[in-house]
Amino acid sequence: MRCWFVLLVAIVAPVWAAGVASAHAVLVSTTPESRTHVDTAPGELRLQLDEPVTLVAGSAQLIDSGGKRFALSAARLDDGQRRVVLVPAEAVPDGAYLATARVVSADTHVVSLSIQFTVGAVTAQGRFAPPSPTGIEQYLNSPTRGITYLGLILSAGLYAAALWVWPTVVRRPRFQVLYRVGIGIFVAGFGCRFLVLVAQQDGGLSAMSVTGARTVLETPLGVVTVIAGLASIIAFALVTRAARAVVGAGAAQAAAAVVAVTLDGHGGSVQGWPWSFAGTLLHVYGITVWLGGVVVVAFVLRGGRNRGRWHAVAVGHVVTAVAGGIVLAVLQVHPPAALVHTTYGLVLVAKVVVALGVVSLGYLSLRWFRRTDAIVGRPRTLVLETALAVVVLAVTSVLTTLAPAKDTYTTDLATTLDFGAAQVLHIGIDSIRHGPQRLTVDYAPANTSAAHNDSATVSVDLSSESANVARLPVTLGRPVVEHGSLVWRSEHLIVPAPGHWRVTVRFDGGTGPKLASFSYRAL
């Protein structure tokens, strides 16, 4: 097993040295701010992201509310590839506009960006049709990942499980045939993954180019994918050769394949590095060996022994997979409510439920095999265990295409500030995510109608020690009367960073100014 560990470290080390791929890029701010008005046509349109990205060729465009397109003289990336800059070829006339672009993170996630604004005499925001589909490649992420995972189990998982429990089984013709089939599926899966990545990079299958392919190959995922492909071809050729050659080639293929699959997902995220990589690596490795062993038992063995050793190895790798999964859950799912209020969280729950089913059926299969010291026969529970294992792979392929729950979960915030003397303010914030927010102040006078209480004044400031913001004034629009209450709404409020924020409210309802505050956590 030293050979396995050394090869794994040898492949992981250059990936760490080369840096990590980004994932789930989030739009932090835009210039001009989206859905705002500018007096003169902007010379540049800037979209700031929180991570480096690559710009999909030909995706940037600027259109007005009538559908007319305006030429761009440049569409580039600045600030270490964290800022998309669009430069109109000429000053646009007064009107309502929408600027859009698409970017791709190195782990295949595509993000659509947009700025909506008005210029000059036009102040009403335009109505724009929803963006057109990005092409068939957007639907190929989950299927290609599913094929890759199946190939990983039937090649790396099959071989690693055999080394752990039944070393002599690698010389059996049945094992060699299944192993070669697994390698073929793995190579085909990653070949399709490469085409999808290039298509997303270039803006469609019909637009794929050598430049896009080179860009993908220069990423850590691209480098390790090439290594895994070469190692797979060598292992395919040597599987029937001498035992020592098979061990070396099989170990190299397994190590490279596990690392490649790790990077082709949340393991490539810069957020939470190196824990995100380590957690994904443990999770992928544990599941690969565990399910690979299930395949050996179901399709290769005929009366093999070492039932007790297989049980110990299976439990150990299930624990490894669970440990990695817990690390990923902590990184990707917070707050806890995101587990049941986001698509990512719900799919994760489904995966856990199915995985528990596999573990339960595995225990029932173990009880069957306890009748003899050998693994004999094929109980129904083993067949069901294998079928559910395929379902786990399918759910996992869907899960890795979704943005983490921490990046999509949000909820509104509502609180009440009582200033005494029947002066109560209801404060609402439409989203607890950092970035654009809408803060609303609602005041219902107790003794007079809202329409006759226009002397009431409100001011709001935000501050955050964690974000190093001493004071962020909130611009409130003129109060309007709604359902007997005075309502103030913020204008162009942007919370620049996650963390703990304090909201300080100064209110004067005609009896003198009063001060109150509350805190909330922006995600």
Kindly report, residue by residue over 214-247, the tens digit of the pLDDT: 878 888 888 999 999 999 999 998 887 766 667 7
| CA 71 and chain centroid, separation | 33
- Pairing of the two strands 110-119 and 36-38: parallel
pLDDT of residue 19: 34
Task: Tell me the domain boundaries of the chain.
Answer: 27-119, 136-332, 413-522
User: Do 74 and 50 meet the contact criterion of CB atoms below 8 Å apart?
Assistant: no
Three state DSSP letters for 135-200: CHHHHCHHHHHHHHHHHHHHHHHHHHHHHHHCHHHHHCHHHHHHHHHHHHHHHHHHHHHHHHHHHH
Position 20 scores a pLDDT of 34
27-119 and 413-522: same fold? yes
Q: Which amino acid is at 347?
A: V
Query: What pTM did the predictor assign?
Result: 0.70
Low-confidence ranges of the chain (pLDDT < 70): 1-24, 106-109, 129-135, 242-245, 269-272, 302-307, 368-379, 447-454
pLDDT digits (tens, 9 = 90+) for 426-477: 999 988 888 778 899 998 887 655 455 567 889 999 999 988 888 999 988 8
The full 3-state SS of 199-267, as one line of letters, equals: HHHHCCHHHCCHHHHHHHHCCHHHHHHHHHHHHHHHHHHHCCCCHHHHHHHHHHHHHHHHHHHHHCCHH
pLDDT value for 200 = 78
- Tell me the per-residue pLDDT of 35-89, one tens digit each, with 9 for 90 and over: 888 889 999 999 888 777 888 777 889 998 888 899 999 999 888 888 899 999 9
CA-wise closest residue to 399 among 331, 358, 357, 351: 351
Q: Say whether 68 sits in a helix, a strand or coil.
A: coil
- 32 preceded by cis ω (within 30°)? yes
Residue 101 zone, left/alpha/beta (φ > 0; ψ -120 to 50; rest): beta
Tell me what pLDDT residue 371 has: 64
At 225, which amino acid appears? T
Residue-level pLDDT at 372: 57
Cβ atoms of 167 and 300 within 8 Å: the answer is no
Dihedral of CA 153/158/159/161: which sign? positive
Only one residue has tokens 């914030």, namely: 429
For the segment(s) 27-119, the CATH number from 2.60.40.1220, 3.40.640.10, 3.40.50.300, 2.40.30.10 is: 2.60.40.1220
Q: What is the pLDDT of residue 499?
A: 87
Measured from the Cβ of residue 273, the count of other Cβ atoms closer than 10 Å reads 17
pLDDT at 201: 75
Task: State how far the Cα of 305 lies from the Cα of 39, in Å rounded to an integer.
Answer: 80
Task: Give the CATH H-level superfamily of domain 413-522.
Answer: Domain of unknown function DUF4426 (2.60.40.3340)
**Confidence (pLDDT) at 129:** 66
Q: In this predicted structure, what is the pLDDT of residue 14?
A: 34
Q: How far is CA 254 from the centre of its chain?
A: 25
